[in-house]
Amino acid sequence: NAGVTQTPKFRVLKTGQSMTLLCAQDMNHEYMYWYRQDPGMGLRLIHYSVGEGTTAKGEVPDGYNVSRLKKQNFLLGLESAAPSQTSVYFCASSPISGGTYEQYFGPGTRLTVT
Amino acid sequence: AQTVTQSQPEMSVQEAETVTLSCTYDTSESDYYLFWYKQPPSRQMILVIRQEAYKQQNATENRFSVNFQKAAKSFSLKISDSQLGDAAMYFCASGGRKSSGDKLTFGTGTRLAVRP
């Protein structure tokens, strides 16, 4: 069981470039989440998904798009990267309600936009 | 809307001593749950302990325990017999059972240093 994996682990982009972060989970979880972590601000929710084919906005969705075409994958896209998007990005997943409500996190992706 | 406040950006404890990290929260949910996550230098987020609001008994996991004061909306983490491996960033988080997608709201974190 790999749990939650994220690709890539590090990336440097130039302003205006685009990229996609991939999150994969092998626990058959219904819910998946993308967070960003910035110094002094904790983790903030960007987008989330309650099932295959569905996505919803979180607290800080601007500048990001997501897709969940397969239950096990949740993609985060940056269409035109900006320096303000320099951050560490975490993906997480959790089973549908009725369980422990724990979220399981991936190892994170450090993104730098110059 | 939920808010989580961690008022201690940094804390320090002597090895083998006890330390308490503070957390207060605000929620409109009547049924909710609370977590403490640990983030060591590896960056991996690790669940330390969880508490469901309807349970009056404070949760305990080995050297980690919480002091859950529901009326005061306080959820502090006590680490007993601190070890060097406890040095990390600690995040408090809350979530509502009725919240779509079981979303969590995180505090800004407390960085814990352990002195040998």
Mean pLDDT of all residues in B73-93: 97
Is B97 a residue whose pLDDT tops 70? no
The beta-carbon neighbor of B50 closest among A43, A50, A102 is A102
Candidates A74, A77, A110, A68; CA nearest to A92 is A74
Q: Is A64 on the interface with B (CB under 8 A)?
A: no
What is the rounded distance in angstroms from the CA atom of residue B95 to the CA atom of residue B105? 6
pLDDT at A99: 62
Interface test with A, best of B29, B102, B105, B108 (most A CBs within 10 A): B102
Q: Per-residue pLDDT tens for A36-56?
A: 999 888 999 999 999 999 999
**How many Cβ atoms are within 10 Å of B48's Cβ, its own excluded?**
20
What is the rounded distance in angstroms from the CA atom of residue B64 to the CA atom of residue A89? 28
Q: Per-residue pLDDT tens for B44-74?
A: 999 999 998 888 899 999 999 999 999 999 9
Q: Is B55 on the interface with A (CB under 8 A)?
A: no
Q: Is A41 on the interface with B (CB under 8 A)?
A: yes
| Residues in chain A with pLDDT values less than 70 | 97-100
Mean pLDDT of chain B: 93
What is the rounded distance in angstroms from the CA atom of residue A92 to the CA atom of residue B93? 14
| Contact: B33, A101; criterion CB under 8 Å | yes
